[in-house]
Amino acid sequence: MVASALKQRAYWRIIVVLLATFFVVSLLTPLLMGIIGKIAPELSAIRTTPSGIAIGTSPGGMFLVLASFAVLIVATVVFAKKLSKRSLRDLTGPALLLRSQFATTFKWMLGLMAVMMLVPAPHSSFELQNQLALGLWLVWLPLGLIGLAIQVTAEELFFRGYLQTQLVGATGSYAKGITLSALVFGFGHLSGDVEGLSALFPVIWATFFALVAGDLTARSGTLGPAIAVHFINNMAVIFIAPTAGALSGFGLWTRDLDLSAAYSDPVLICFEGLILLITWLMARIALKR
C-alpha cells in the first residue's frame, strides 16, 4: 500500500484530493439523498420535528444515510487514480489477505462486543426506551448491515487506504502519516449537537480511534482489520441503543441521553478510553492468530 503511494509523493496532490473529495461528497450526498427521498418518501433521511431537523430517525432514512457513503467510495477511487496513480487494490491491500484478516479480526471483535454488553455503563442517568418492534428490527437488519458495511468501508478506504498511506509516503514516516490522518479524521467528527468543551470529546475519541485503525492497517498491510474494528464499533452504537433523535433509525432501543453531560463525565471518558485500548489489544492478538 505504501509502495504504491510513493509513485506520487507531492503534498499538493494530497491537498487537492482532500479538497476535491470534500467538495464532491458535500455536493452530491445531500443532492442524492434529497432526490431519493422525493422518489421514495419511506427512505427520506431528513425530517422536520418540533425541536428542529432530525436526520436518520427512521429505518429507511438511516439506511439512506449509511448507503450515501458510496459517494465517498467512488470519489476516493476516482481521485486516487487520477492524481496519485493508485488503483483500488493499492488502497485496500491484497484481496485474499484482506478477507482473511477481516474474518479473523471480526470474530474476535464480535466476542469482545458480546462481553462488553454485559458490563454496566458508568453513565446511568439515561433510560432505555423501546423503539422498533423486534420483528421490524429483524426485517431491516440485513439492509442496515449492508449500509453499515458501505459506511465503514468508505471511511477506511479514504482515511487509511488513501490518506494515511499517502502521508506516510510523502513524509517518509509511519508515525507522521498515521498521526496526521488521524487528526483529519478526528476533526471530521466535530458535532453541532454538543456545546462547550464537551464537543471536544467526540473529536478526541475519534482521533484515538483513527490511531488504532491506522496502527492496525500499518501492521497488517490491508484494510481488513480496521474495517472489522470499525464495523463492530459502529454496529453496537447504531443497532442496539443509539441516542434518541440523532441517527437512531435502526435502534432496537434508544437512549434519552444528555450528550453534553455525558461527554464531560470523566468516568465515562475513562471507560470509553479503556474500551478502545482493549479493542486495540484484542485486534493485535487476532492478527497474530
Q: What confidence tens digit (pLDDT) does each residue in 116-132 have?
A: 888 776 655 567 889 99
In this prediction, residue 244 carries a pLDDT of 83
Q: How far apart are alpha carbons 137 and 30 in whole angstroms?
A: 26
Q: Per-residue pLDDT for 87 more than 90?
A: yes
SS3 content of the chain, % helix, strand, coil (to 5): 70, 5, 25
For residues 273-277, average pLDDT: 94
The pLDDT > 70 percentage for the chain reads 96
What rounded mean pLDDT belongs to the chain?
92
Lowest mean pLDDT among 43-57, 82-96, 149-163: 43-57
Model pTM score: 0.94
pLDDT digits (tens, 9 = 90+) for 237-250: 899 989 887 799 99
pLDDT in the model for residue 236: 86
Residue 127 cell numbers, joined:
433510560
Of 149, 173, 171, 276, give the one whose Cα is nearest residue 224: 149
- Whether the pLDDT of residue 24 is over 80: the answer is yes
In the 3-class helix/strand/coil scheme, how is 144-187 assigned residue by residue? HHHHHHHHHHHHHHHHHHHHHHHHHHHHCCHHHHHHHHHHHHHH
Phi/psi at 71 (nearest 5 deg)?
Answer: -60, -40
pLDDT value for 48: 73
* The pLDDT value given to residue 50: 66
* pLDDT value of residue 51: 67
pLDDT for 281 equals: 96
